[in-house]
Chain A
Amino acid sequence: MLKQTEGSHAVAEAVALCRPEVICAYPISPQTHIVEGLGEMVKSGDLKDCEFINVESEFAAMSVAIGSSATGARTYTATASQGLLFMVEAVYNASGLGLPIVMTVANRAIGAPINIWNDHSDSLSQRDCGWIQLFAETNQEALDLHIQAFKLAEELSLPVMVCMDGFILTHAYERVDIPTQEQVDAFLPPYEPRQVLDPAEPVSIGAMVGPEAFMEVRYLAHAKQMQALERIPQMAEEFQAVFGRAIGGLTHSYRTDDADTIVIAMGSVLGTIKDVVDEMRDAGEKIGVLGITSFRPFPIAAVAAALKHCKRFVVLEKSLAVGSGGIVATDVRMAVTGMGLKGYTVVAGLGGRAITKKSLHALFAKAGRGELEPVTFLDLDWQVVNRQLERERQTRRSGPAAESMLRDVGTVASKIA
């Protein structure tokens, strides 16, 4: 059913269609609307046989999820940014225990300085936590990926994060196609837990594992992710068979067939990039786009295959490995090891900084000319940065950097004495 709705609400409806049994909620922007929507559905009775629990923290949210999932309930929660970091210990624990929890991460920057806007720092900080991470490009993909996520999680007994850009997707009203309950039921079978806390067949879950078996346990976690690499594309096909939409998979190539330059990115920014690429193609540039849907497991082979015929690639990512450069770029570079490609890392859109077509045009053109620095910070205000660096060079007590720079920038927020 086609519907004009907010991204968060579309996701809430998709999650509800998956018949979750336990939902834990703790408010943090920009994820709030999703759990608000679900809470309303549980309270109204539209979503039956589901416990909606208002917990006291994200750490509790994930912990409650661990308990309910281990007891055989299909479990969902959502978070973002600081919330994800606050639950990190439990995030690792959920994957370590192999519990198929599905969690939406409404991607948002991490403080300090505190910032509620979108980038990918939160999810990418958890790249090694053992969860599958799927990035949605559109609201339609976001809602569809949740349906796939439950199936994938439960088949593999692994938790899945569905990452969607905070505000850009979560708060955007768009037309989406909401599937029917019959469609979802046809695609997603009831949860058959691999292990469950059950008095009829007691087990101890969460043993202490020493050096004699720990490596093996970790390898098995890795092996499961490798299985996911095979399962994710198949699932996209199965999904298409039921829902008639090509959603999911590991990567999406766009106009890459004869491209000399391929731009690689994740999430909603792909839309802007595709527009720019279309315009550059119209101008005769051989440029294409590779969108990564599955960041974990990282599709090394798929990325290598997609880049096989290009000359250069630009990884444009909404994240920063401070002191190193790109996070996604590092994985991409590993994927193309030995292929002799020129690669560029572009850090863009941190903390919600707009990524404009104009900037992208200039950026890609520069890349095409081979003039791009190995690591570029897109639209960085060098004047502000340099002034602050100078201040710090001159004065030991230069004061808080963020506030000083805000004063320089002169935005509304700077009017704090």
Chain B
Amino acid sequence: MSLQPVKFYQTGTFTVGNRLLAPEERSVQANMQRTSSLNSGHRACQGCGEALGARYAIDAAMNATNRQLIAANATGCLEVFSTPYPETSWQIPWIHSLFGNAAAVATGIAAAIKVKKQKGQGGDVRVVAQGGDGGTTDIGFGCLSGMFERNDDVLYICYDNGGYMNTGVQRSSATPPAARTATTMPLGPEPGNVFDQGKFVPAIAMAHEIPYVATATVADLRDLEYKVTKAMGIRGARYIHILVPCPLGWGTASHDTIRMARLAKETGIFPVFEAEYGEVKSVLAIRRPLPVEEYLRPQKRYAHLFGKSPAVATIARIQALADKNIRKYRLQARQGEH
């Protein structure tokens, strides 16, 4: 299977659905019978990117597995807003254990499934683990790396919003440079989060040489669904890192969540690609190149860069990071593509 952009010139490849496509070519989200794995009534903030990303991803995984799916969830916004007693928004078998162990819990689930299947006591059920960037790149990193290294049959999905939003917007190892958080205040000679720190877990996942690693954003639904579907067709450890803007933590308007993700991708701030066994196999090229300023300016977490005297040097450093991504992952807009 490969990503086949739908050539339809009214809506292009980019809308959720398309009344003119054959049903099997439509996105999962366009389907009236989608599982809506994360149902209404959850307590996420208005315009929550993580709630959106989680429904996108889990619905796609449900679709790909014929609804034979179990999810393990790290502590964090997604867990808290979806399952406060006495209500859960999940429509799938789901477990929350701890902040730092979602990958390991998923390993256990996968092991149990394997044994049950061997014994003829269960079917081919698949496992997804999911967590935010804190639960993935920081506290859950040990378990994540272990799961990767053992090549356990788990798809781990990280919903990256660049910080500990659930606890009140503190810095994580996925917080981008210069961003304001409650623990990287815009004070002192280097306001906001410092440069030259942090880690990009997709690259680390690739270093484990696991069968599949991909990044995605909530702005490119079809790409996201394609990647989740592809991942569910592979056995072994898989990792998808989804950029999910957070209106609260980023200081953006609730209606701009998807726009922000789109800007992150179009500026090169967030490279969207997929890799197999440690090698990049394809990238989602930039469609309409933009300077990083377009992405930074709408976000209050970067407001200190745009004061009376704009922090030109800092913006240039961020631009350099985006340019590096564009070079490294070959994200340049290509002729003839969309």
The residues of A with any CB-CB pair to B shorter than 8 Å are 21-22, 24, 49-51, 53-57, 59-60, 63-73, 75, 89-90, 93, 97, 197-199, 201-210, 212-213
The verdict on A197 contacting B95 (CB below 8 Å), with A56-B149, A63-B104 known, is yes
The verdict on A66 contacting B88 (CB below 8 Å), with A73-B116, A199-B68 known, is no
The verdict on A72 contacting B101 (CB below 8 Å), with A60-B146, A206-B96, A207-B88 known, is no
Across-interface contacts of B107 in A (CB, < 8 A): 53, 55, 60, 63-64, 67
For B100, give the chain A residue with the smallest CB separation. Answer: A59
In the bound complex, what is the Cα–Cα distance between A72 and B119 (angstroms)? 13
Contact of A49 among B94, B106, B118, B125 (CB under 8 A): B118
Contact of B88 among A51, A69, A204 (CB under 8 A): A204
Min C-beta distance of A96 to chain B, whole Å? 9
For A208, give the chain B residue with the smallest CB separation. Answer: B84
Min C-beta distance of A74 to chain B, whole Å? 9
Q: Is the CB of A51 within 8 A of B97?
A: no
The verdict on A60 contacting B93 (CB below 8 Å), with A54-B150, A204-B83, A208-B80 known, is no
Interface residues of B, count at CB 8 A: 48
For B121, give the chain A residue with the smallest CB separation. Answer: A72
In the bound complex, what is the Cα–Cα distance between A13 and B168 (angstroms)? 50
Across-interface contacts of B119 in A (CB, < 8 A): 49
In the bound complex, what is the Cα–Cα distance between A59 and B70 (angstroms)? 21
Min C-beta distance of A291 to chain B, whole Å? 35
Among the interface residues B68, B79, B112, which one has the most CB atoms of the partner chain A within 10 A?
Answer: B112
Across-interface contacts of B291 in A (CB, < 8 A): none
Q: Is the CB of A206 within 8 A of B97?
A: yes
In the bound complex, what is the Cα–Cα distance between A209 and B80 (angstroms)? 10
Q: Is the CB of B115 within 8 A of A207?
A: no
> B98 near A: Cβ within 8 Å?
yes
The residues of B with any CB-CB pair to A shorter than 8 Å are 67-70, 72-73, 79-80, 82-86, 88, 90-98, 100-101, 104-116, 118-119, 122, 125, 142-143, 145-146, 149-150
For A56, give the chain B residue with the smallest CB separation. Answer: B146
The verdict on A72 contacting B85 (CB below 8 Å), with A56-B145, A56-B149, A67-B72 known, is no
Contact of B108 among A56, A67, A201 (CB under 8 A): A67
In the bound complex, what is the Cα–Cα distance between A201 and B100 (angstroms)? 27
For B67, give the chain A residue with the smallest CB separation. Answer: A199
Across-interface contacts of A67 in B (CB, < 8 A): 72, 95, 97, 104-112
Among the interface residues B105, B118, B142, B149, which one has the most CB atoms of the partner chain A within 10 A?
Answer: B105
Majority-rule SS of B interface residues: mixed
14 example contacts (A-B, Cβ-Cβ < 8 A) are as follows: A21-B111, A55-B107, A56-B146, A63-B108, A67-B104, A73-B111, A89-B100, A93-B97, A199-B69, A199-B92, A204-B83, A206-B73, A206-B79, A213-B86
Among the interface residues B68, B73, B96, which one has the most CB atoms of the partner chain A within 10 A?
Answer: B96
Contact of B101 among A66, A70, A198, A204 (CB under 8 A): A66
In the bound complex, what is the Cα–Cα distance between A209 and B86 (angstroms)? 8
Q: Is the CB of A22 within 8 A of B115?
A: yes
Across-interface contacts of A51 in B (CB, < 8 A): 111-112, 114-115
**Extra contacts besides A49-B115, A206-B73 (7): CB < 8 Å:** A53-B108, A60-B101, A67-B95, A67-B105, A70-B109, A205-B94, A210-B85
Q: Is the CB of A207 within 8 A of B83?
A: yes
In the bound complex, what is the Cα–Cα distance between A69 and B118 (angstroms)? 17
Across-interface contacts of A198 in B (CB, < 8 A): 70, 93
Contact of B83 among A68, A71, A93, A206 (CB under 8 A): A206
Across-interface contacts of A199 in B (CB, < 8 A): 67-70, 92-93, 125
Across-interface contacts of B150 in A (CB, < 8 A): 53-54
Across-interface contacts of A69 in B (CB, < 8 A): 108, 112
Across-interface contacts of A24 in B (CB, < 8 A): 108
In the bound complex, what is the Cα–Cα distance between A205 and B71 (angstroms)? 10
Across-interface contacts of B95 in A (CB, < 8 A): 66-67, 70, 97, 197, 204-206
The verdict on A90 contacting B101 (CB below 8 Å), with A22-B112, A208-B79, A209-B85 known, is yes
Q: Is the CB of B83 within 8 A of A208?
A: yes
In the bound complex, what is the Cα–Cα distance between A75 and B109 (angstroms)? 11
For A201, give the chain B residue with the smallest CB separation. Answer: B93
In the bound complex, what is the Cα–Cα distance between A75 and B227 (angstroms)? 33
